[in-house]
């Protein structure tokens, strides 16, 4: 999904044991009273990485960013930036800029004034400031709004001013808290690509908070999925999607079919035997050992649906319960005889309208042995 | 129903305003009276305004009052704003409740007590009463009013603005002066105006804390009135009313404009 093909694809410092992390959270906790907003969290982020924090509302994403920005003091643990302990360093002396979730534009200054603010603090010469401001305005396509005050802008325009303001100083690390939340779908997609290009061109490290999984998938080199102040999994988008580490991650990112059962080892290979006696062939049993309770997670697009029984082991029949038509694809909800519902999605590659499955038809759903991933938590 | 209530409201309004403003209107009218007798109308004249300008004592008092009011309002605004910031910002410092109680208590303290206690203080430390003591006294009692006005604005101030300023490299002090202060400025100005007016018309505290050579206008007027009301006094009072009215109007206009802007800002988050 990256706009910048092959050069980016080789970027994987996290796989290199010699690579030094640029930002390091070491067992960081943040408590508000008894409540742990961030709970013993460790995380490494590398230079020039586009890192996304994904998680439900209230899981501690903003709190994590605010600790890196210097606005919240960790209750315990350390935060290192480029090897330097950030403890006690005030926000204005951190080489980190933040785009606030509420934008926090200065209401008494014009768009220009807002963008120039950080540069003035540095004591940059006037001519240079003017030039930089112009470049930033161009970048966010707000050239004609330079003299307006924030209250004269639309929500999306304000968001772009906030982005320009936080980018103007070329910080080593840019923290973006839901940067695209207020944009409409089209502008949002455009801006996503722009952000990625920009980050790549300027060679910055981005840490982006979002609760939109598609956005995280599109933009990030790696994604951290957070839940209740802890990191559930950190991995590149594809791995998060295809090899989720837990049921939470599998469920949070995309949609999924989950079969709970016990792992057994047969002559033909491992199987997962679920409570209604069905046994699924599995190619890779992951961390699960025989006899253990495990979950088989299969994405809907890896589930086939057909009228006839297919020639694979993992096939169950049921009744078409619901059909959601999206144009490019169709999602079928098939109700098994024990009441469970399995999702199967198909790409509508043929423009064929007759002979389609319809409500209350009997149908077989099936998937190959390597379609699913076995989870133990 | 609506009609009767409407009439009742109109009558109530008229009576209320008459009660409030009739004496003032009378005072203004009689300041243009030709006659020396305050209660007898003898034709329009601006004679007493001219007379007033030749009254050395009155002018001196006016000058003292202007200086005291300006100085005390300015200092009270600085101190009051600082107190308001401390009270809203550092929510959890020890003894905050006591501190805020102590800042706001003088609002309801009878002036006689404030005046008397200040007098005792100045006598105790051997401070000669005069211009400095009146000014100090006025600072003391008007800074709480400033604190209240500024605090009510600060409560709705979005703290992430200040955080954003610091994030962009401003020291806490710069963030305050370049972002917070400009945003809350209308409230600070309103606080200054309030302090100025309070000082301008204070009689009680000034009587306790002033000394020879620092007679304020209200003190002067009061002492002259005891010898009999002259149209000259009416003229002085009319001018005072004018100054205060202009102040009030400017403050409310500024605040109204600000309020409109703010509402517009909040309407499109
Ligand atoms: N100053 C605070 N005092 C008390 N609790 C707080 C404070 N700030 C955050 N919290 C709590 O910490 C938790 C995490 O908050 P945080 O703002 O980090 O969530 P988030 O992941 O950014 O959510 P969202 O996606 O809604 O922005 C929330 O439950 C919140 O109520
Ligand atoms: Mg948040």
Indicate the residue of B167, B183, B261 with minimum beta-carbon distance to A151: B261
Residue B98 included in any domain: yes
**What is the predicted pLDDT for the residue at B269?**
45
B 145-184: CB under 8 A from A: 158, 160-161, 163-172, 174-175, 178-179, 182-183
Residue A3 binned pLDDT confidence (cut-offs 50, 70, 90) = very low
A14-33 residue pLDDT tens: 877 877 888 989 898 998 88
Indicate the residue of B158, B166, B183 with minimum beta-carbon distance to A91: B166
Q: Are residues A307 and A285 in the same domain?
A: yes
Atom of ligand 1 nearest to the CA of A64: 18
Atom of ligand 1 nearest to the CA of A226: 21
Q: Are residues A32 and A168 in the same domain?
A: yes
Pocket test for ligand 1, best of A52, A55, A61, A99 (most atoms within 8 A of CB): A61
**What is the predicted pLDDT for the residue at B78?**
95
Give the end of a domain, one of A213, A248, A283.
Answer: A248
Query: CATH number for the domain including B179?
Result: 1.10.3720.10
Mean pLDDT score across all residues of chain B: 83
Range of the domain at A168: 4-248
Check whether B268 has a pLDDT greater than 60. Answer: no
Q: Which residues of A touch B (CB under 8 A)?
A: 69-71, 90-92, 96-98, 100, 102, 104-108, 117-118, 121-122, 150-151, 154-155, 165-166, 169
pLDDT, greater one: A126 or B43: A126
Check whether A328 has a pLDDT greater than 70. Answer: yes
A331-341 residue pLDDT tens: 888 888 888 88
Q: Provide the domain count of chain B.
A: 1
What own/partner pairs with CB < 8 Å and gap ≥ 24 does B158-165 have? B158/A102, B158/A104, B159/B89, B160/A100, B160/A102, B160/A104, B161/A104, B161/A106, B161/A107, B163/A69, B163/A71, B163/A91, B163/A100, B163/A104, B164/A98, B164/A100, B164/A104, B164/A105, B164/A106, B164/A165, B165/A106, B165/A117
Residue B194 included in any domain: yes
Q: Are residues A178 and A267 in the same domain?
A: no
Distance CA A27, CA B25 (A): 74
**Which residues, 6+ apart, have CB-to-CB distance to B122 below 8 Å?**
B129, B133, B209
Q: Are residues A196 and A99 in the same domain?
A: yes
Check whether B38 has a pLDDT greater than 80. Answer: no
Mean pLDDT score across all residues of chain A: 84
A120-146 residue pLDDT tens: 988 889 898 999 899 889 888 888 998
**Which residues, 6+ apart, have CB-to-CB distance to B1 below 8 Å?**
none
- Residue of A109, A111, A96, A196 whose CA lies nearest to A157: A111
Give the end of a domain, one of A226, A248, A270.
Answer: A248
B90-125 residue pLDDT tens: 766 667 777 777 777 778 888 888 889 889 988 888
Nearest CA to ligand 1 atom 1: A32
pTM of the predicted model, to two decimals? 0.77
Nearest residue in chain B measured CA to CA from A159: B269
Residue B150 included in any domain: yes
**Cβ contact B183–A107 (<8 Å):** yes
- Contact present, A337 and A356 (Cβ < 8 Å): no
Distance CA A253, CA A183 (A): 22
Range of the domain at B234: 57-243
Mean pLDDT value of segment B40-65: 83
Q: Are residues A304 and A227 in the same domain?
A: no
Query: CATH number for the domain including A296?
Result: 2.40.50.140
Query: CATH number for the domain including A31?
Result: 3.40.50.300
**What is the predicted pLDDT for the residue at B70?**
92
Q: Are residues A262 and A167 in the same domain?
A: no
> In the 3-class helix/strand/coil scheme, how is A70-84 assigned residue by residue?
CCCCCCEEEEEECCE
Residue A274 binned pLDDT confidence (cut-offs 50, 70, 90) = confident
Q: Provide the domain count of chain A.
A: 2
A339-375 residue pLDDT tens: 888 888 888 877 766 667 777 788 888 888 788 888 8
Predicted-complex ipTM score? 0.77
Q: Are residues A234 and A109 in the same domain?
A: yes
Lowest mean pLDDT among B12-26, B73-87, B135-149: B12-26
**What is the predicted pLDDT for the residue at A111?**
92
**What is the predicted pLDDT for the residue at B3?**
53
Residue B14 included in any domain: no
Q: Are residues A38 and A97 in the same domain?
A: yes
Q: Which residues of A touch B183 (CB under 8 A)?
A: 106-108
Residue B199 included in any domain: yes
Give the end of a domain, one of A218, A248, A278.
Answer: A248
**Cβ contact B166–A90 (<8 Å):** yes
Q: Could you tell me how many CB contacts below 8 A there are between chain A and chain B?
A: 73
A40-58 residue pLDDT tens: 888 899 988 899 999 888 8
Residue B15 included in any domain: no
- Residue of A18, A12, A21 whose CA lies nearest to A82: A21
Q: Are residues A284 and A233 in the same domain?
A: no
Check whether B5 has a pLDDT greater than 80. Answer: no
The length of chain A, given as a count of residues = 377
Atom of ligand 1 nearest to the CA of A211: 25
**What is the predicted pLDDT for the residue at B93?**
65
CB distance A169 to ligand 1 below 6 Å: no
Q: Which residues of A touch B160 (CB under 8 A)?
A: 100, 102, 104
């Amino acid at each position: 999904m990256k706009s910048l093909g092959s050069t980016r694809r080789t970027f994987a410092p996290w796989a290199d044991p010699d690579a030094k992390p640029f930002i390091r959270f070491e067992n960081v906790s943040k408590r508000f009273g008894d409540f742990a907003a961030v709970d013993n969290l460790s995380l490494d982020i590398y230079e020039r990485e586009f890192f996304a924090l994904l998680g439900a509302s209230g899981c501690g994403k903003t709190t994590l960013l605010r600790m890196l920005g210097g606005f919240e003091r960790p209750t315990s643990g350390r935060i290192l930036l480029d090897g330097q302990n950030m403890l006690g360093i005030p926000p204005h002396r951190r080489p980190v800029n933040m785009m606030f979730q509420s934008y926090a534009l200065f209401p008494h200054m014009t768009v220009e004034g807002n963008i120039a603010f950080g540069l003035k603090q540095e004591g940059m010469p006037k001519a240079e400031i003017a030039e930089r401001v112009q470049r930033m305005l161009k970048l966010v396509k707000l050239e004609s709004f330079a003299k307006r005050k924030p209250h004269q802008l639309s929500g999306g325009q304000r968001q772009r001013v906030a982005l320009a303001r936080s980018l103007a100083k070329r910080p080593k690390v840019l923290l973006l808290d839901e940067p695209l939340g207020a944009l409409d779908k089209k502008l949002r997609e455009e801006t996503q690509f722009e952000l990625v290009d920009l980050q790549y061109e300027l060679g910055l490290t981005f840490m982006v908070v979002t609760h939109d999984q598609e956005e995280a998938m599109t933009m990030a080199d790696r994604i951290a999925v957070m839940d209740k102040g802890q990191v559930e999994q950190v991995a590149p988008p594809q791995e998060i999607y295809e090899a989720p580490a837990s049921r939470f991650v599998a469920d949070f990112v995309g949609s999924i079919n989950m079969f709970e059962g016990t792992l057994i080892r047969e002559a033909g290979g491992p199987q997962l035997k679920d409570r209604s006696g069905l046994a699924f062939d599995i190619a890779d049993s992951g961390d699960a050992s025989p006899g253990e309770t495990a979950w088989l997670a299969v994405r809907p697009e890896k589930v086939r649906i057909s009228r006839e029984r297919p020639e694979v082991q993992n096939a169950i029949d049921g009744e078409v319960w619901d059909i959601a038509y999206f144009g490019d694809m169709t999602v079928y909800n098939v109700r098994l005889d024990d009441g469970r519902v399995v999702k199967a999605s198909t790409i509508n590659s043929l423009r064929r309208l007759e002979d389609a499955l319809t409500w209350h038809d009997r149908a077989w759903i099936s998937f190959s042995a390597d379609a699913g991933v076995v989870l133990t938590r | 129903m609506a009609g009767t209530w409407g009439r009742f409201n109109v009558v109530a309004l008229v009576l209320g305003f008459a009660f409030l403003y009739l004496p003032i209107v009378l005072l203004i009218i009689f300041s243009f009276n030709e006659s020396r007798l305050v209660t007898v109308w003898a034709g329009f004249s601006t004679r007493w305004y001219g007379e007033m300008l030749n009254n050395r004592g009155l002018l001196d008092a006016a000058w003292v009052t202007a200086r005291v009011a300006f100085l005390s309002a300015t200092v009270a605004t600085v101190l009051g704003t600082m107190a308001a910031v401390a009270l809203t910002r550092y929510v959890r410092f020890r003894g905050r409740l006591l501190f805020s109680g102590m800042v706001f208590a003088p609002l309801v303290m009878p002036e006689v007590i404030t005046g008397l206690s200040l007098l005792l203080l100045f006598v105790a430390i051997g401070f000669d009463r005069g211009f400095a003591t009146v000014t100090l006294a006025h600072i003391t009692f008007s800074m709480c009013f400033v604190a209240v006005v500024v605090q009510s604005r600060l409560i709705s101030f979005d703290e992430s603005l200040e955080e954003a300023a610091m994030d962009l490299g401003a020291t806490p002090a710069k963030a305050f002066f370049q972002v917070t202060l400009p945003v809350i400025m209308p409230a600070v100005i309103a606080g200054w105006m309030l302090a100025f007016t309070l000082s301008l018309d204070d009689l009680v505290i000034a009587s306790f804390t002033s000394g020879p050579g620092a007679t304020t206008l209200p003190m002067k007027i009061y002492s002259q009135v005891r010898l009999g009301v002259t149209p000259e006094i009416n003229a002085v009072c009319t001018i005072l009313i004018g100054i205060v009215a202009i102040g009030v109007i400017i403050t409310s206009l500024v605040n109204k404009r600000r309020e409109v802007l703010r509402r517009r800002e909040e309407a499109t988050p």
